[in-house]
Structures are given as C-alpha cells and as structure tokens.
C-alpha cells in the first residue's frame, strides 16, 4: 500500500519474462529508478516462449501475472516481446493496474532512430529490421506499432530462434554466437534494414556481437535499438507523469529487489549477479501450478 510517511507508493514494480532475458529490463529500471523496489519472475521452467502458440503464451502470461499481483505489485512490466506481442491487451483488460509491454516502446525508439538517419543523410528513412522470436515476428506486432507512429516506415522481421538458447546458456561471445547472429543479420540487411531492433529482451546480452557483425557486414555502425532499455524509459516516463505512483525514499537502501524463478535457481543466481552488477538476494524457486 502507499507509504504515508514518505508520501510515495512503496509497493514494488512487478517484472516477468520467460527466463533471464528480462534482467535487461530490471537493470535499466535499477539504473534509472533507484528508489523503486522490484519483484522479478523468470519462468525458467518453460523458456522459451517464442516457439509457443498464442493461446499457450496467454496462459503462461496469466500465471506469471497472478503471482506478481498476489505479491502486491503496483504495476506490471512485461519484459518479454512474445508476451507483449500477443497477451498485453489481455492482461490490461483483466488487471486493475498499469501493464507495460516492450513492443510499443521498442517501436517508438526504432521510429526515432530511423528518422534520425533520414535527417542525417537527407534521404528517405531506412527500413526497420526486427530480430525476434518466431512468435513475435509472426504476430506482426512491431509492424502494427510502427504504423501507428509513421505510415512511411517499413518493418522487416527475422525470427532468430537460436539466440535465446545461446543467452540462457551464457554463450555470449565467440565463433558460435557470431555465426548465428551473422545468419540472421544478413537476412535483415538483404531485406533493406538500416535500423536493427533487438526484439527480444534476451538479445541485448548479445548486443556487442550484433554490433560487431553489423560493422563487418556494412562497414560502419548502424543504429541498434534495445527494446529492454526502451521499456525501462517508458516506465520512467509513467512514474514521472503519475501514470504509475512513484516511491519516495530518502534512504535508497530501502529499495529492494526480489528474484523468483520456476526452475534452476542456482544457475539463475549466477547470471543475475553477473548481469545486474551487484550482489543479488537468494533466488526463490516457486511453482506456478496449473497456469
């Protein structure tokens, strides 16, 4: 509930993803919003979501949301492009709290990047290339969101099913991830992409590889949009304008982070410590039940 002593709402933000990829969103939130407590749920027992049917993804999303709602979060951040593409509107209709996905913020950041390229070169804006899971690409969600913002921009998508398993295994550098990334990036470049969206919150962990491959193939950097960072910025904006009630603390040590997983807590703990750049609390394993 609200904290009358501080004048703010001390309830945590709830964040969920299919695995550890959503830690990229948590990292962005922690950097920008040190006052805010966070509960993160990684559904590691059922990762990846990107190969599941829309009905299954919606069922999984409801189960994850239920856990976080029971823990009294004040807003829900869906740190998964696949869920954002097919289930965000369902969750918004069913939950009495703000629900923020990653697709709309990522699309907005991509449009801005494409327009900046056009302004700099004096030519037409480049196509926006989206790397995503099979589910995200099949949904057409990025195309719909971009069309809401600009009818002159075209989106091309490329499913990249090998990248989530690479990230989950911690295989973030070397020949194997470079070969996988090259295969997918070449397809986007051949389709005319001049901006690349990392349309899965696992993919920012491979951003150095993506940027290296782009320079090797194109000869110069091209804009790479991080949907996780864009989602973090969207949450910041909502807190600033009152769309989400903000915490108010003088003692930043009062802000906490809680990590929940559905499987493999030890491996997740190592990844969380490494990626968040701080000692994280012990990861708690939970059971989502029949959801």
Do residues 111 and 218 share a domain?
Answer: yes
For residue 74, give Cα distances in angstroms to 15, 27, 217, 239, 241.
11, 19, 44, 11, 15
Output the CA torsion sign for 147, 153, 159, 165: negative
Pull the structure tokens for residue 136.
Answer: 């995200």
Known catalytic residues are 80, 200
CATH classification at residue 51: 3.40.50.1860
Tens of pLDDT, residue by residue over 75-106, are 999 999 999 999 999 999 999 999 999 999 99
Do residues 281 and 183 share a domain?
Answer: no
Do residues 109 and 213 share a domain?
Answer: yes
Per the domain annotation, does 175 fall within a domain?
Answer: yes
Pull the structure tokens for residue 76.
Answer: 């829900």
Per the domain annotation, does 153 fall within a domain?
Answer: yes
Q: Is the peptide bond before 48 cis (omega within 30 degrees of 0)?
A: yes
Tens of pLDDT, residue by residue over 20-34, are 889 989 988 988 888
Give the whole-angstrom CA distance, residue 186 versus residue 213. Answer: 9
Task: Tell me how many domains the chain contains.
Answer: 2
SS3 2: strand
Tens-level pLDDT at each residue, the chain (291 residues): 344 444 588 999 999 999 888 998 998 898 888 889 999 999 999 988 988 999 999 999 999 999 999 999 999 999 999 999 999 999 999 999 999 999 999 999 999 999 999 999 999 999 999 999 999 999 999 999 999 999 999 999 999 999 989 988 889 999 999 999 999 999 999 999 999 999 998 899 999 999 999 999 999 999 999 988 899 999 999 988 888 988 876 555 578 899 999 999 988 988 888 778 766 788 999 998 765
Find where tokens 């009905």 sit.
55
Domain that holds residue 179: 103-227
Do residues 62 and 166 share a domain?
Answer: no
Per the domain annotation, does 69 fall within a domain?
Answer: yes
Per the domain annotation, does 290 fall within a domain?
Answer: no
Q: Could you tell me where the DSSP H helices lie in the chain?
A: 23-32, 54-70, 81-86, 88-94, 103-121, 134-139, 141-149, 163-168, 175-190, 207-218, 227-241, 265-276
Do residues 139 and 278 share a domain?
Answer: no
Do residues 111 and 57 share a domain?
Answer: no
Per the domain annotation, does 291 fall within a domain?
Answer: no
Do residues 70 and 10 share a domain?
Answer: yes
Do residues 247 and 148 share a domain?
Answer: no
Tens of pLDDT, residue by residue over 146-177, are 999 999 999 999 999 999 899 888 899 999 99
Do residues 42 and 121 share a domain?
Answer: no
Edge-to-edge strands, sheet with 155-159? 155-159, 127-132, 193-199, 224-226
Do residues 97 and 115 share a domain?
Answer: no
Q: Which of 227, 257, 277 is the last residue of a domain?
A: 227
Do residues 79 and 107 share a domain?
Answer: no
Do residues 166 and 278 share a domain?
Answer: no
Give the whole-angstrom CA distance, residue 263 versus residue 43. Answer: 7
């Amino acid at each position: 509930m609200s904290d009358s002593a501080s004048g703010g709402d001390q309830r945590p933000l709830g964040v969920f993803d299919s695995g550890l990829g959503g830690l990229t969103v948590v990292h962005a939130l922690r950097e920008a919003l040190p006052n805010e407590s966070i509960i993160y749920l990684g559904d590691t027992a059922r990762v990846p979501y990107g190969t599941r049917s829309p009905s299954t993804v919606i069922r999984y999303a409801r189960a994850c949301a239920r856990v976080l709602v029971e823990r009294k979060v004040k807003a829900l951040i869906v740190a998964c492009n696949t869920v954002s593409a097919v289930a965000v509107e369902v969750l918004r209709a069913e939950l009495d709290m703000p629900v923020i996905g990653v697709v709309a913020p990522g699309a907005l950041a991509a449009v801005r990047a494409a327009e900046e390229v056009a302004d700099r070169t004096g030519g037409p804006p480049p196509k926006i290339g989206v790397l995503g899971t099979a589910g995200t690409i099949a949904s057409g969600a990025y195309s719909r969101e971009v069309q809401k913002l600009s009818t002159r921009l075209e989106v091309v998508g490329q499913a990249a099913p090998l990248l989530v398993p690479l990230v989950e295994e911690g295989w973030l550098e070397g020949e194997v991830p470079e070969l996988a990334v090259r295969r997918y990036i070449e397809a986007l470049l051949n389709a005319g992409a001049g901006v690349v969206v990392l349309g899965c919150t696992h993919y920012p962990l491979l951003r150095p590889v993506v940027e290296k491959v782009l320079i090797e193939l194109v000869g110069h950097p091209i804009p790479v949009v991080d949907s996780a960072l864009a989602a973090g910025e969207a949450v910041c904006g909502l807190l600033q304008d009152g769309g989400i009630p903000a915490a108010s603390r003088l003692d930043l040590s009062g802000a906490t982070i809680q990590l929940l997983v559905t499987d493999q807590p030890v491996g997740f703990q190592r990844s969380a410590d490494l990626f968040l750049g701080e000692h994280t609390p012990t990861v708690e394993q939970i059971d989502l039940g029949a959801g």
